Amino acid sequence: MLASKLKFVLILYLGSMIFLHVLLFLYVKQQARDGYSDFSIFYGAARILLSGQGGHLYENGLQLEVQRQFAPVARAHDGPLPYNHPPFEALFYLPFSYLPYWPAYLAWGSVNLLLLCGTLFLLRRHLQSVFRFSPWVPFMAILGFFPAAVAVMQGQDSILLLMLYSLTFLAMTRGSEFAAGCCLAFGLFKFHLVLPFVAILLLRRRMKFILGFLLVAGLLVLLSAALVGWKELVEYPRYVWQVNQSPPIKVIWPRNMPNLRGLIAGWTDRRPTPFWLDALILVTSSWALLWAAKRFDPAQWRDSRTSAMAFALAVIVTFLVGYHGYSQDLSILLLPLLLVAEWLFGGWKPNAWIRWSLLACLGVLFCTPIYVALVFQLKHLNVLAVALLLLAVSLGRALKSEQKEEPVTVPLAAS
């Protein structure tokens, strides 16, 4: 009886979140058609490659000219939404650049939805308890997660990164660390949400993972050079830094970054950020990486849950220390959140403090009205970093308590 009531409440709750997302899409639909969504960044970059002007990809004047061709309303008075991603990512969007803008936007949105469902399909073996509880709940959870909904509406690439993190996790469960490194390297289109994870494994000296990562990363560098030329590629880091330090708040807005940078520097609109704030961000981020690396210790993994906890914690800390991250980028946290739900549904009995902390974090992170209030009303999504910190601390304490018993060396989540 209790399970039936809980199932009804969860389905009703997640269904309400999905309904809100549908309403939100209807509200922003015309803006998306006019080119205000982030998809215009990627579509414009692909059009530049298609026109054979890859050597000028990071020229703001050219980006603005191209974006005005398909989004004249959105770019009538403003500058371009800068394409500040690595050159190779524009290839992902090249097939869509053959379509008019709105059909291309809808096609990429459909791909994102397929990626979401595909991710859930890939993880099904690790979510057996959730699926046994209700086959509807996991599908409703991915659609009821506000960051994933925003990623679809914005035409962003965060869901693709979620898929790559999931493939990385699955490869590590099989003990294939080299393949895991190869998989994650393809996520370098959001290098700020990948390199911290790599740093954690480097600190743990997981050299097979690092070798796989470096191999694919090197190939992507060569591919990028072939697309835009070495001169433009060498200028790319300077271009990214200029965008990050530029005055237009609408592009770089720490107050809407639910990470350590947002929590520390998101209370001022000064550009560039004062040196002492950057130094504080660097120190706290370094400490967080060391803390996560200490818990990513295969010698202390007792079983598949312990190893998966370490992976989930590493992903959460990666997002927290990433220097750039908005609501759509939280999509990568679907992986650790689904794993936490699986452990709770699977009969895991942590102490009361950890259990209620994890449940509170799940409730907050799956509550669309909280995001809406923080983004549109208060304009301070950086406050959500507190929930992520609580989630990380709770998982860290759970992992520590799990490791108190006699350690056994096992592959990550070996079955």
| Residue 410 pLDDT | 45
pLDDT tens digits for range 175-220? 999 999 999 999 999 999 999 999 999 999 999 999 999 999 999 9
For residues 184 and 198, give the distance between their C-alpha atoms in angstroms, rounded to a whole number: 9
Q: Give alpha helix (H) positions in 136-194.
A: 136-143, 146-154, 158-173, 177-185
Report which of 293, 291, 245, 297 is spatially closest to residue 389, judged by C-alpha positions. Answer: 291
pLDDT tens digits for range 151-160? 999 999 999 9
Question: For the chain, which ranges sit under pLDDT 50?
Answer: 249, 406-411, 413-415
CA–chain centroid gap for 165, Å, is 9
Report which of 92, 42, 87 is spatially closest to residue 224, judged by C-alpha positions. Answer: 87
Whether residue 272 has a cis bond before it, omega within 30° of 0: yes
Model's pTM, two decimal places? 0.94
